[in-house]
Amino acid sequence: LPALRYAAEDCLTVHATSADQVKQNIDDITEQINRINQNIENLEDQQEILEEEMEDLNAEIINTMTSIGLKEDAIAETEGDIERKESDIAQTMREYDAARETEQQQYDDMVLRLRRMYESGDQNVVDYLLSGQSFSDLLTQMDFVESIYAYDRMKLTEYTQTKEQVLELWNQLETEKQDLETQKANLELDKQNLESQKSDLDQLLAKKKSQSDNYEAEIKKAKQEAGVAKRKLQQEQEKL
């Protein structure tokens, strides 16, 4: 009987010790599950913050792309203005060349006409003196020569002014073209800066996307660990 009693006591002691171990295991596993769930919650919070930042980056990228498109439209419009200005310049150059030729032709004709008239006039003076004709007729002839000279001078002045006006327009068009080319260069620089900005945003977005994917993988892994722990917890609870 004493031996049987000791054996029963040992059995009770072993059972009590085993039950305590199970309870300890349950507590440990429960604590582990709580830590895993807390980690999952933290990871999901971080991922949510990243998702919001990615949305903001996407919106900024869209705005930047829109700005780039507007710059491209402005560049194309400016290029069209430059082409039209070059056409105007080419036309003005032709008009200038024509005005210069007209001026030169008028000058040459005037010089030739004056030379002929004065050469003819010298001979007329001699003829008038030898023929005994009225000197007033000679003066009338000279007045006629002077009127022709005055007309020629007027036309030459008119052609010269036309040439100078065309030249002034030409210079103005060249200045306007240079301003347009400067405007185009500034637009292209703005576009380059925007493209560089977009490239930086794309890289930052890709980096955050990679971080979000890492969080997603960690969350998935943590949930799997939580599932394993919960199954262990259930097994331990069934031992009680």
Measured CA to CA, the distance from residue 20 to residue 230 in angstroms comes to 19
Residue 144 to residues 108, 131, 148, Cα–Cα distance (Å): 20, 21, 6
Q: Is-above-0.95 flag for pTM?
A: no
Residue listed under structure tokens 């009338």: 140
Burial 141-159 (b: 16+ CB within 10 A, else e): beeebeeeeeebeebbeeb
Residue 225 has pLDDT above 60, yes or no: yes
Give residue-wise pLDDT tens across range 146-175.
Answer: 777 788 788 888 988 999 999 999 999 999
> Residue 103's pLDDT is what?
86
Question: Could you tell me the pLDDT band of residue 129, with boundaries at 50, 70 and 90?
Answer: very low
Mean pLDDT for the stretch of residues 217-224 = 95
Does position 134 have pLDDT exceeding 60, yes or no?
no
Over range 168-194, report the average pLDDT.
Answer: 96
Rounding to the nearest 10 degrees, give the CA dihedral for residues 134, 137, 142, 148. Answer: -170
Per-residue pLDDT at 216 exceeds 80: yes
Sign of dihedral through CA atoms 31, 35, 38, 40?
negative
Backbone angles phi, psi at 133, to 5 degrees: -70, 165
Mean pLDDT computed over every residue of the chain: 84
Residue among 114, 134, 116 at smallest CA distance from 125: 134
Q: What is the mean pLDDT of residues 27-38?
A: 94
Residue 22 pLDDT greater than 90, yes or no: no
Q: Which long-range contacts does 71-74 make (Cβ < 8 Å, 24+ apart)? A: 71/187, 71/190, 71/191, 71/194, 72/191, 74/187
